[in-house]
Each structure stands twice: as C-alpha cells, then as structure tokens.
Amino acid sequence: MLIYENVDELLDRIGVLRHPCDLDLLVFLARHPRSLLSSESLASFLGYDLKEIAQSLGSLLDASLLKGTQTPSHGATLYVLPTDGSTDRWLSSLLALASSSGLDAVLSGGVPRGNVILLEGAIGTGKTTLGLEFVYRGASLFGEPGIIVLFEVSPEKVVRDAARLGWDLPALERDQQLKIIFTTRQVFRQELQQADSLLLEEAAKMGARRIFVDGVAAIIGGARGEDPREAFHILVEGLQREQLTAVLALEASALDGNPPPSFPEESIADTVIRLRMENMSRATVRSIEIVKSRGHDFQMGRHSFRIVDGYGVEVYRRVQAPRRRDRAAAFDPTSRVSTGIPGLDEIANGGYFLGSTTVVAGISGVGKSVMALQYVAEGARRGERSVMFSLDEQIPQILRNAATIGIDLQAEIDRGVVRLYYDPPQEIEVDRHFHDIEQIVEEFQPRRVVFDSISTYGSSLGTKGRVFRDFFHALVALMKEHQTATVYNHENPEMLGMSSMMGDFAMSSLVDNIILMNWVELGDAFRLALTMAKMRANPTSRVTHECEILNGQGLRVLPDELPVGVHRPPFSGYHGLISRAPTRYSAGGPADETE
C-alpha cells in the first residue's frame, strides 16, 4: 500500500482531482458503497452546494472514476465506483491518507461537516494535541483553512509544541490557511454573540472550515445564574453561523467514575469524544471513546491511542472492534504448505492447509523455535513470503539461532522474502500491537506466519479474562482472511507427560492443528517425542514419533524403525509415551517392564 506525504502529491498522481469536493465525494462513495442519496443529501452531508456536487460528479465521470447508470423509472442517474484493480489500488492509498491517524476508522470515515465535537478529558489526556491536529490536518492535507482559539497557553508555546510533532503552523499562517487567536473567554463569548463579530468575519474572509477552541469550561459556565446548557447552545449557534466544524475541548477530571458523569452540553453537541488515562498494572495507556456522533455510524468502546513525536496522534482500534472478515476461513481444500521438517510432511498429510492455524505445544527446549525457523526457511527456499513475530527473542538472537542450524536468515531478509518483528512484552499495548500486525500482514502479504510464542502473550495479557481470548480470536480471523498458514508456538509447562494440551489457554477449539512436543524419559535419557494430536479436515494418526535436533541441520522426525547401528529401542516398542510412565511391550504382548 502506498502512503503519500500530502494530498497534493496524491492528486497530482491521479491527475484529475482538483477541487476539495472531488476528494470528499470520492472518499464518501468509497466508504459508503451502499448509500442511496440524492444530490441534495450529498451536498448537505459533505458541506458543499449543489453546483459543486454536480461539477465534481461530472469530473469523476469524465475521468472514469465513477460510473453513471440511468434508471428507467424516473430518469435519475445512479453513480457507483468502478471495480477495476488499478482504481482499487490508488483508492486504497487515498483512504489510508484520509484516515492517517486511525481516528477516522473508529468514526467510520469521519464526522459530518458542521458537527460540533465536544472533546472531554482530564489534564494530560491529549485534548489540545488532538484538537490542534484536527485543524492542522484539515489545512495541510485537505485545503480546509482553520482557526485555533487559545485562552491559557500562549501561541508561542503551541507553535513550539506543534513543531515537535512535525507540524509547521507558522507556514500555514503565512499561506492564510491558519489563524491562531489568543484571547479571553469573555471576549470570545461576546464575539460569537455579535452580528458584526470580527472573529466570524475573519473566518469568512479566509474561508475557514474548521475551528478548535482549547478550553470551553468557563464559557459554557455562562454568566452568574445562567443555565450552562443555554450558554453552550449560544456558543454552538455562533459557530454554526459560518458552518464551521468545531472541536471544543472540555476539561473533565471526573471521567473515571463508573458510570462516568454526564454533562448537560453532551445533549447539544453532535459528537462527544472522551479521552482517558487508563492504569494497567503499573503502566498507563491513553484511551479514546466515541460516546455519540450524530449522522453516521462509529465503533463503540474504548480504543487506544498514542502521541508520537514527529507525527501526532495515532489511534488504534480496540482488538474486539468489528472488522470486515468476509474471507476469514480456510476454504482451499487442495493447496498445502510444507512444514520444512524432514519426516513431518508425511505425518501432516503433505503439510498445512492455506488459512489454517497450527499450535506447536511443548515445554521449553523441545525445539519449537527450531521448527519455526525451518518452516520460515522452507518458505524462503520456495520463494514464499514469511513473517515471524517474536515476543521472546530479539532479532539478533533469532538470526544467531538460525545460523546454528544452517539457515542464513539475514540473506532471505535482504532478498525480501522474510521479515522478523520483535515487540518487548513487558508493557505490551494490545491494540497498538495488533494494529502493527495488521499493517505488516496487509502490506507484506505473507504466505507463512509464525508467532513465538502465545504463552508470552498470555503472561502479558492474562489468560483468565477476555482480553487474551479476544486478541487470539482477532489474530486467527486476520490470518485466515489473508490465507496464511500460521504457526503459533506455545509453552506447555508440563515437563514429562501432558494432562492438558493448552493448559489455561482455552483456545483449542479455535485452532485447526495441534502438535505436541514432549520429553520422554526412557532409561537414563530424555528422548524427544512428537504427536499430531489434532488436524482438522484431515485423517489423523495419533502415533508418537521420535525426533532429534542435529547441529547445523535442525529438527527431523525419525522413522518408526530406527536405522541399523542405532542401539536404542524405537518408540514403537512402548506405550504411554506422553504419560509420566511409559511402558515397554514384552515379546509376549502385555507390558511387563517399566523403564
């Protein structure tokens, strides 16, 4: 997916969109393909007049970016987006740009023009940053001039802080795309009530479409004895006279209550957004919640966000948020992916199905990571893209481990067929982490994916509540949607024998295949055992096989009958191998000897 630095670059590449209405109309139709609206409704929703809508429809038709079909019943024209691949590619880039912060995705495309947005939150939650970004992005990306109104913080400090986020506010001021006003609440309130308001006159002169007011608590408090609801209504009326889309920051330090308090202004505002600082053990995570937003759909619940130096606000949809997973199934009954383990493909019916989920479970040291490296290397040998996500080992250590079994993973990375991703598990933010996984999978389009390991996710997120299970559900759906053959390593804490395949991780019903790796104590030695415990939609022989790991070669599954010269009895001579007391068969048949 292409990401453009600014709209001008994207529009120049497209070569046809020159008016902001063209861009808004195209994005709207892409995000709402089933909408059936008149030109009047489109004009009202997008904030343009009928002439601009008509001109944009004509431009998009001429450029073959829209198709028009005349309905025979009343002669109206139905406009739809074409479905050819080239249009889809750059339209995806356009939508990615329009939703660069992630907040538009939570808002299902953004808020309708002219909405009054109440931004609630305690000190330090990010209200000012989000409000500044709302105006900055509008002016710099979409050609929508904006106004920033400040009461306490000086413009010099705002400009300084914005520069750390990569926002050049003085440049926008020089281009007449931005106006920063430093005033008092009383003066601002009076300006909005006057018919000859200098502020609104300035807004009309520069063609302002957006405004951010940093701190409206004292304004909506009104004069002595005045109803706060009435005071807020007066404020909203003044802003809507110029059809401004407004973000009003309201300091609210009591939002941590259960349920949180409500404010009288919320019933008047079109959109209410709450920002919080959430405590997670000894860490703190910022969250954002859309309480209401008139005129469109949005994703409910608390989503995570971060303020990133050099960029601004990044919003990550909560893992549980609904996503379109139309192809989230392993539907191909013929295509298989080789395991890369000598002897294992024969046990696994030729390999894993595309879109399948495989868990390799066993105690530390049985070779799960070795198997994962061989799986990735086999994909590279076949020219198949692979991604390995690790929470246990950093990338240099993964490369070293691969080299010990004869795999030059760095060469495959340089060749562009392998990617490694490490995220430290100490303070993992599950929404951001899942967002990163989504981005990598959607961009790289791997055929093979490895997670090492899900037990580390469990120790970070906890296995008793819903967070881990929801996260794992979302992972499985994502990988099935992209038709990857995914392997999850899982550390089972039991050393000898297994009483449960997944332990506290109640997820065995979600996975397609389960491979059990275990130590078997025979005589005075531990021997490595592998059992295919589950293989959905495949015949499964639950025979325990012996394995070995060779330096410079990796893991291999040994045949049932050991080669001549190997002086130890094969596994086929025992029963109860994955119990804690394997027993050897006697020549007469019944077991009579325990090693």
Reported as a single tens digit per residue, the pLDDT across 364-419 is: 889 999 999 999 999 999 999 999 999 989 999 999 999 999 999 999 999 999 99
342 HSE (CA, 13 A, CB side): 10
Lowest mean pLDDT among 255-264, 352-361, 379-388: 255-264
Alpha carbon of residue 490 to chain centroid:
23
Write out pLDDT tens, residues 162-204.
999 999 999 999 999 999 999 988 888 888 777 778 888 888 8
Strand partners for 305: 286, 315
- Confidence check: pLDDT of 488 > 80: yes
Pick the closest to residue 318 from 284, 287, 292 (CA basis).
287
H-run or E-run covering 120: strand 116-121
What is the 8-class DSSP label of residue 267? G
Q: Which residue has the higher pLDDT, 496 or 246?
A: 246
SS (H, E, C) 284-350: EEEEEEEEEECCCCCCCCEEEEEEECCCEEEEECCCCCCCCCCCCCCCCCCCEECCCCCCHHHHCCC
Neighbours of 546 (CB within 10 A): 22
Q: What pLDDT does 14 receive?
A: 52
d(CA 80, CA 67): 5
Give Cβ neighbours of residue 320 (< 8 Å, ≥ 6 apart): 301, 466, 470, 474
Task: Please give the pLDDT value at position 425.
Answer: 87
How confident is the model at residue 2, as a pLDDT? 31
- C-alpha 255/C-alpha 214 separation (Å) is 18
Give the Cα separation of 338 and 208 in Å (integer).
Answer: 59
Q: 422 and 390 in contact (C-beta within 8 Å)?
A: yes
pLDDT at residue 3 is higher than 60: no
What's the burial of 541, exposed, middle or buried (CB within 10 Å: 0-12/13-18/19+)?
exposed
pLDDT-wise least confident of 36-50, 350-364, 367-381: 36-50
Q: Is 351 left (phi over 0), alpha (psi -120 to 50) or beta?
A: left
Please tell me whether residue 525 adopts helix, strand or coil conformation.
strand
The H or E element containing residue 110 is none
Q: What is the pLDDT of residue 534?
A: 92
Average pLDDT over residues 280-299: 87
Q: Is 132 helix (H, G, I), strand (E, B) or coil?
A: helix
What confidence tier does 243 reach under pLDDT thresholds 50, 70, 90?
Answer: confident
Q: What angle do CA 169, 170, 176 make, to 5 degrees?
A: 95
Is residue 489 helix, strand or coil?
A: strand
Q: CA-CA distance, 154 to 183, in Å (whole number)?
A: 10
Return the percentage of the chain with pLDDT > 90, whole number: 39
Q: What is the mean pLDDT of residues 341-353?
A: 94
Three-state DSSP at 490 gives: strand
pLDDT of residue 179: 95
Do β-strands 312-316 and 336-337 pair in parallel, antiparallel, or remain unpaired?
Answer: unpaired
Calculate the CA 149 to chain-centre distance.
33
Confidence band of 343 (pLDDT split at 50, 70, 90): very high
How many helices (H) and strands (E) would you count in the chain?
20, 25
What DSSP element (H or E) covers 594? Answer: strand 591-594
Q: Is the dihedral of CA 128, 131, 132, 137 positive or negative?
A: positive
- pLDDT for 98 equals 46
- Among left, alpha and beta (phi > 0; psi -120 to 50; other), residue 76 is beta
Residue 30: Cβ within 10 Å count: 17
Reported as a pLDDT band with limits 50, 70 and 90, residue 469 is confident
Q: Name the phi and psi angles at 104, rounded to 5.
A: -60, -30
396 conformational bin, left if phi > 0, alpha if psi -120 to 50, beta if neither: alpha
Task: Report pLDDT for 148.
Answer: 96
Mean pLDDT of 48-77: 74
What value does the mean pLDDT of the chain take?
81
Query: Is 337 buried (19+), middle (13-18) or exposed (0-12) by CB count in 10 A?
Result: buried
Cβ contact 487:451 at 8 Å: yes
State residue 15's pLDDT score. Answer: 54
Query: Each residue of 489-539: pLDDT tens digit?
Result: 998 876 666 666 666 666 778 899 999 998 888 877 888 989 999 999 888
Of 132 and 21, more confident: 132
Q: What percent of the chain has pLDDT over 70?
A: 78
The 10s digit of each residue's pLDDT in 5-20 is 344 544 554 555 667 6
How many Å from the N-terminal Cα to the C-terminal Cα in the chain? 59
Cα dihedral 31→35→38→41 (10° resolution): -60
Query: DSSP letter at 242?
Result: T
Measured between alpha carbons, how far is residue 377 from residues 338, 373, 517 in Å? 11, 6, 20
**Which range in 15-19, 441-445, 568-572 is most confidently predicted, on average pLDDT?**
441-445
Band of residue 84 on the pLDDT scale cut at 50, 70, 90:
low
Write out the H or E segment, with its range, that includes residue 177. Answer: none
Distance (Å, whole) CA 519 – CA 529:
6
Where does the pLDDT of residue 272 fall: very low under 50, low under 70, confident under 90, or very high at 90 and above? very high
For the residues 453-469, what does the mean pLDDT come to? 81
pLDDT at 77: 66
